[in-house]
Structure formats: C-alpha cells, structure tokens
C-alpha cells in the first residue's frame, strides 16, 4: 500500500472519524454505510462475521474454505501491505459490520497462489482482492458494488491496472456479480474427481446354518 492508504494512515484517519460514506437519506428507508480501516478490537467480530457470510457457500465448495484459519486471519492484521476495510452502519447508536474487504497490491505472507510473471508478461499491475463479504441481510442492496468501487479506487491510487481475485466456480451468485461488473476469467484450476472402482474391503454378510444338535 502507499503511505496514504496503509494501515497506519488508516488508523489515523479513523481516529479523526475519517472515511467515506454511501450517500443516503434515512427517511426513505435507506441506510448509510461508512468505511473505515480495521482496528485490533474489531478482529473477533470480523472473524464471526466472515464465518456467518461464508457458512452456506463453504458447504457447497471443495475449494479452500473461507475465511482461512483464525490464526491466519489474526496474523494478517500484523502484516504490512494488506489493507483491511470494514463497512459499518449505526443501529440505535451501535455500530454494525455489514461488509468487509481485504486487499493488497503485492503478494504478501503465505498467500503465494499466483504466478507474478503471468502479470509482468502482460504488463498488468494487479491489485489483489483477498476477501469481499457482504452480510446476508444487506446483500442485493448495492453494498457489494460500493465495496468494489472502493477497491477500484484504492487500486487506482496504487497505480494498479487490474483487480484480481479468486472465486469458487460454484459460488454462482458471486460469479454473476463479478461477470456483470466486467471481470473475466484469467485461468483456473478445476477440481476434478473420478470414482475409483474397488471391491469393498469387508466381505459381504453371510448367513450361518442352524446348529445341528
């Protein structure tokens, strides 16, 4: 991240109450969503939020499960170069997390899932979206679009040319969401399976003869 968008800068901005808000009225049933960077005290809440968002998706997905391990999630906060954003509303004076995004403009930590040369050869400067999650109660209301706009804004500020992310092929709703927003498939490893023909290791049941007196 640049100095402007890095975690430290974010901490300063949130201390000052900085951050962007979605335009909303209030009387018309709309909800105002603010963006701020993650604080250490948010981590447990975000972890629970992510587990909730991905619960159903994980049941149907063979690909790596989201969120990753809690330990990895906690480590990410300590790592430079990964930007973590929370999207929040106020309900009865209490803050509620309604979306979360995690991004980086460099490959950091153990997340070495891409081939950097692929991008260099094509003169692409990728901005990696590591996580994008909207609370189920808030899906379909334009919040995912707002998150994506924020990420694109950061990508531009960091001089990146493409948003790059990984999504499970059978996460159909997310696929539709990205495709209708001009994302194209780069390449993909597909999980394949072939049933292995084997005889059972245990013999079939056997009827025993009556005992002869």
Ligand X SMILES: CC(C)(COP(=O)(O)OP(=O)(O)OC[C@H]1O[C@@H](n2cnc3c(N)ncnc32)[C@H](O)[C@@H]1OP(=O)(O)O)[C@@H](O)C(=O)NCCC(=O)NCCS
Kindly list the residues in this chain that would bind ligand X in the complex (CB under 6 A): 53, 57, 132-134, 139-145, 165, 167, 171, 173-174, 176-177, 180
Q: What is the DSSP string of 102-137?
A: EEESS--TT---S-HHHHHHTT--EEEEEEEEE-GG
Query: For ligand X, which is the closer residue by CB, 79 or 166?
Result: 166
- Compare residues 70 and 179 and give the one whose CB is closer to ligand X: 179
Q: From the CB of 17, what's the least distance to ligand X, in Å? A: 25
Nearest to ligand X of 2, 62 (CB atom): 62
Q: What is the rounded CA–CA span in Å between residue 100 and residue 61?
A: 21
Element of type H or E holding 35: strand 34-37
Closest distance of CB 181 from ligand X, Å: 7
Looking at beta carbons only, is 160 or 163 nearer to ligand X?
A: 163
Burial of 4 (0-12, 13-18, 19+ CB in 10 A): exposed
């Amino acid at each position: 991240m640049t100095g402007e968008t890095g975690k430290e800068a974010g901490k300063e901005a949130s201390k000052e109450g900085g951050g962007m808000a979605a335009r909303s009225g209030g009387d018309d049933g709309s909800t105002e969503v603010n963006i701020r960077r993650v604080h250490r005290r948010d981590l447990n809440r975000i972890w629970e939020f992510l587990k909730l968002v991905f619960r159903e998706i994980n049941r149907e997905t063979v690909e790596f499960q989201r969120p990753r391990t809690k330990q990895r999630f906690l480590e990410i906060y300590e790592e430079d170069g990964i930007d973590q954003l929370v999207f929040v509303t106020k309900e009865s004076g209490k803050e509620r997390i309604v979306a979360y995004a995690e991004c980086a403009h460099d490959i950091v930590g153990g997340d070495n899932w891409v081939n950097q040369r692929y991008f260099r050869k094509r003169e692409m400067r990728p901005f990696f979206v590591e996580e994008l999650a909207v609370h189920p109660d808030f899906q379909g209301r334009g919040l995912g679009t707002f998150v994506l706009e924020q990420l694109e804004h950061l990508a531009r500020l960091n001089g990146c040319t493409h948003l790059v992310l990984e999504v499970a092929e059978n996460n159909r709703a997310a696929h539709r969401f990205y495709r209708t927003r001009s994302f194209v498939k780069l390449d993909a490893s597909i999980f394949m399976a072939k049933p292995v023909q084997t005889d059972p290791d245990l013999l079939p049941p056997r009827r025993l003869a009556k005992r002869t007196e």
